[in-house]
Structure 1
């Protein structure tokens, strides 16, 4: 695709009206209903129902029994029992990402809580609203070495452990304090930025009665909002972009809500001013990668055309909703220093300027900034039509140079690039793709081209292997009308593969595409790149032992298939996607790929290799 030439006879720029602060809409009043003579766990479920939560994920146990029993006594909220607490936390994460609602995980005390912690921390670092309820022994048993006691006196204080990997963590010490602490947890999880929260609930407190408790009558009562950006700041940003010779808009995951609500208007805006758009890995697909103004992902394993555009120099870089961590900054590449003027918009003040010196910091709701740019763009022409024509021509040349697909051999071993090329045509419409951590991350980032309404999700914050195994189940449960696909490596699949039992038991038609090279591939290639010939790629040190993943999947009740040659996935996928929905049964495609194919992680491998060896 190429950028069209500007229309003839574009009206000259009109004098700009003085920026006006937005007129505030009337505040929505919260309304509540009063429940009387209910237990603490019944009050909890009433609050979750008010938040439109229809599923809780977890694993039962003695110290979480009051909540599980309350769930069984009603039918409005399902309790989905997973195989491992970490997997259920990943399910709550996927559910929240797919639906935009609160994800909820319920686990027992002790190992139940510690097992869930990785999944909870992963959600928190990716700013996903997840509430974890962990059980606790009765308060009258504190200090008696009760089974799974999780207090200072018992030796392991899980509430304190969660405090270091969530936005808040509290122990309910009496029934009267429960409504207040729950309300605080719900507000914190759904404040901007979102995050994970934890409540530890002793069994005796869970069963205690509350004389009265107030519950919101409408969803969103505890969902936080940010103030809109000052119109003067948005106007300044708009004028910088309008007058720039080489502007670049960079979208992070913090722009997801803005682009999902105003994506069409945003596209009209950037096309009017011919402003190229790049995204972070977690922002991939927020702006259609089929659009000629898309430069693709800028970061680790990203697009060469985005890298070239940045290397050639950018006079105005506007970052919307990215903290510019290592994934997004291409291992903190000096390439970003080519930007002479930087505008950064984020909900969190502390992330602004942590990597780049920022000339215009805007702490605000990203949606308000996108809306402001769109509004200011309605009544203005580009600063220079000649500059826009020149930029359009340059972008067309850049697309010609980099968008030609590599010619892949039709015979020989199956390569990961084959899998991406054959998967890509099916990532259309209401499809959600959950990409795990490993070599699959790099191949998906580099090779796939995502266009809304299709969505892609990554667990970049903690970079947790095995995440997609559970996340795709939670996502499909939350949005059953969407096609849900997990892309993962064989190492990740072996970590949490038993969650296939969960998908089978609850009739979840998720599709798993497993890149099987019989190695911990990212580590194998990364170590090989640093070892400089010290060992070969076929060294058995990082081998997985060649397990039969097809038979493993079938033994757990899933349908499973193996592809070993180019073209097989193309022929197989339509049938697999159909079966997933019709049979409501997980489908596993094991793609036996060439382990020798080097993933697009050259910069990451080089950054690790160049790290100082001594303090």
Structure 2
């Protein structure tokens, strides 16, 4: 049935109840089974596979701790609307409540994994008879790949997996198209855009998922409108376009995007595919919507007006809506352009300045300068966002992926492996801090075993530097956040079979990147960076954690 659904790769770990499925997957001529080192890593690989490949990611884990280990990554995929199917094993139905090893049926004094997954998925249910399996598997795949995608979970008992039966002949799951925008909503939006003198656009992940990059470019050209993205929307709009403002928000925000979107110069804000959460709005900054018309487009009606009053909500897919708007907007409407004319991103040498310690901002800028034009960059949680937002130039072929809503550290190490398997001809890199690397580093061995040529660039600053930065900015003492013994990331990577280099200067980093691209093997760059460098956008996070309602400054 998985083969019929077009599944080509499954990530997982074996265990008693799931062994029959593991054996079948291992012998399948059409499905590649990737053995991970931890269930969380397996699901993060499935998430990265889905993000890079634009199709369903699948992970298989065993019952009990195997399933509970997978919950965090599953919740991460669901909160970021990534289509992931998690199949977990379960003890046989005739042993429920009798104390079998790794019983997670919820019968008696044991955990109920179906219930545990319900708050981390769109659908979590049990399969206890072979007759249920075809329908529930199709239901799960349809739910995961719906217009508002997400993660799903099926708990399959050992007795079901032991049964042998011919796969039912069933039509493949057909994609469900999102609703078209209502005519009256479109007409109102067209009128508002026609009246605006200084419109601006904020594009989020929904814009990226819909593939509306070309429409955004056409809209920017037609409206003379500057375009900012959230970090999750980064790469939907080419950042070398003259209308590009860069990233807006707490995660990786750029000064020029904040100065324009929070200033008094614009009279209409078009929000495309963003739920307008904390990180996407610089801590729900009220200036983002104050004294201007706001149009919000989203395929999930729950997100429309969730956090701010919206005059013109449109429930539909971003690409479909933009195509309709472009066809109805007047073609030669003259406006005063707010494009950031003549902006040139800072170079790695400019970010580095005269500092004796390697700057993380300079590391990211050099990645931007040296990465091929066809690249997937997986960015981990923490200060990596703050440096990648302004420092890494992205676009339709230089795609950026992250896992931001649940904001689980350690995501990018395994996710990049999944991404490489989904897109083997593209260069795949991960940008990760040393504390996040420590959480999932064992998956480097998985990459070595399967020959996944991923490059991990580790910003090694001696611990949880973002937390320490926030503690300091709030006025707290920096305790418990930094390592007493810093990680030797290169030594860990070498022990796991990867090629690794320590770099402490931009020249060393350049040589390491050249070698990594030339060798095309699992490669780890241990970049020893200044722990005291604080990304500018972190100040918005500090304001929220401190409980302040004061508007943050828009210049560093």
For this structure pair, what is the TM-score category when the shorter chain's length is used for normalisation? over 0.9
Q: Does structure 1 residue 268 correspond to structure 2 residue 218?
A: yes
Cα deviation digits, residues 46-69 of structure 1 (max 9, x gap) = 3x2233221000001111001001
DSSP-derived class of the 1:214 partner: coil
Equivalent position of 1:542 in the other structure:
482
Distance 1:603 1:269, change over 3 A: closer
CA distance in 1, matches of 2:387, 2:411: 17
Work out whether residues 244 and 339 of structure 2, in 8 Å CA contact, stay in contact via their aligned partners in 1.
no
Q: Does structure 1 residue 324 correspond to structure 2 residue 324?
A: no
DSSP-derived class of the 1:147 partner: coil
Instruction: Give the Å deviation of 1:365.
Output: 1.5
CA distance in 1, matches of 2:179, 2:300: 12
Q: Where does 1:81-480 land on structure 2 (aligned, <5 Å)?
A: 81-154=35-108, 155-210=110-165, 213-216=168-171, 221-258=173-210, 260=211, 262-300=212-250, 301-313=252-264, 314-377=266-329, 380-382=331-333, 385=334, 388=335, 391-392=336-337, 394-396=338-340, 406=350, 408-409=352-353, 412-480=356-424
Moved more, 78-87 or 358-367: 358-367
Work out whether residues 183 and 222 of structure 1, in 8 Å CA contact, stay in contact via their aligned partners in 2.
no
Equivalent position of 1:577 in the other structure:
517
CA distance in 2, matches of 1:492, 1:179: 38
Equivalent position of 2:554 in the other structure:
none
DSSP-derived class of the 1:49 partner: coil
Q: Which of the residues 554, 563, 567 maps onto 2:503?
A: 563
Equivalent position of 1:20 in the other structure:
none
DSSP-derived class of the 2:514 partner: helix
Task: Count residues in correspondence.
Answer: 543
Cα deviation digits, residues 227-280 of structure 1 (max 9, x gap) = 21134433432332233111111111001143x3x5334313321321111111
Work out whether residues 436 and 468 of structure 1, in 8 Å CA contact, stay in contact via their aligned partners in 2.
yes
CA distance in 2, matches of 1:592, 1:329: 32
CA distance in 1, matches of 2:167, 2:396: 46
Moved more, 308-317 or 152-161: 308-317
Work out whether residues 257 and 367 of structure 1, in 8 Å CA contact, stay in contact via their aligned partners in 2.
no
DSSP-derived class of the 1:240 partner: helix
Instruction: Give the Å deviation of 1:187.
Output: 1.1
Instruction: Give the Å deviation of 1:516.
Output: 0.4
Q: TM-score if structure 2 supplies the norm length?
A: 0.94
Distance 1:55 1:465, change over 3 A: same
Work out whether residues 17 and 158 of structure 2, in 8 Å CA contact, stay in contact via their aligned partners in 1.
yes
CA distance in 1, matches of 2:262, 2:197: 15
Please list every run of 5 or more consecutive structure 1 residues that lacks an aligned counterpart in the other structure: 1-45
Work out whether residues 560 and 590 of structure 1, in 8 Å CA contact, stay in contact via their aligned partners in 2.
yes
Instruction: Give the Å deviation of 1:207.
Output: 2.3
Moved more, 312-321 or 277-286: 312-321
Distance 1:272 1:489, change over 3 A: same
CA distance in 2, matches of 1:150, 1:611: 43
Distance 1:182 1:415, change over 3 A: same
DSSP-derived class of the 1:194 partner: coil
CA distance in 1, matches of 2:373, 2:411: 24
DSSP-derived class of the 1:338 partner: coil
Equivalent position of 1:63 in the other structure:
17
Distance 1:501 1:417, change over 3 A: same
Work out whether residues 473 and 510 of structure 1, in 8 Å CA contact, stay in contact via their aligned partners in 2.
yes
Structure 1 stretches of 4+ with a deviation exceeding 6 A read none
Equivalent position of 1:602 in the other structure:
539
Instruction: Give the Å deviation of 1:201.
Output: 0.6
CA distance in 2, matches of 1:79, 1:546: 35
Equivalent position of 1:73 in the other structure:
27
DSSP-derived class of the 1:567 partner: helix
Instruction: Give the Å deviation of 1:411.
Output: 6.0
Equivalent position of 1:35 in the other structure:
none
CA distance in 1, matches of 2:64, 2:503: 42
Work out whether residues 361 and 387 of structure 2, in 8 Å CA contact, stay in contact via their aligned partners in 1.
yes
Q: Does structure 1 residue 510 correspond to structure 2 residue 454?
A: yes
Work out whether residues 422 and 567 of structure 1, in 8 Å CA contact, stay in contact via their aligned partners in 2.
no
Instruction: Give the Å deviation of 1:339.
Output: 4.7
Name which one, 1 or 2, has greater alpha-carbon Rg.
1
Equivalent position of 1:42 in the other structure:
none
Work out whether residues 433 and 456 of structure 1, in 8 Å CA contact, stay in contact via their aligned partners in 2.
yes
Q: Where does 1:11-90 land on structure 2 (aligned, <5 Å)?
A: 46=1, 48-90=2-44
CA distance in 2, matches of 1:521, 1:479: 32
CA distance in 1, matches of 2:9, 2:346: 45
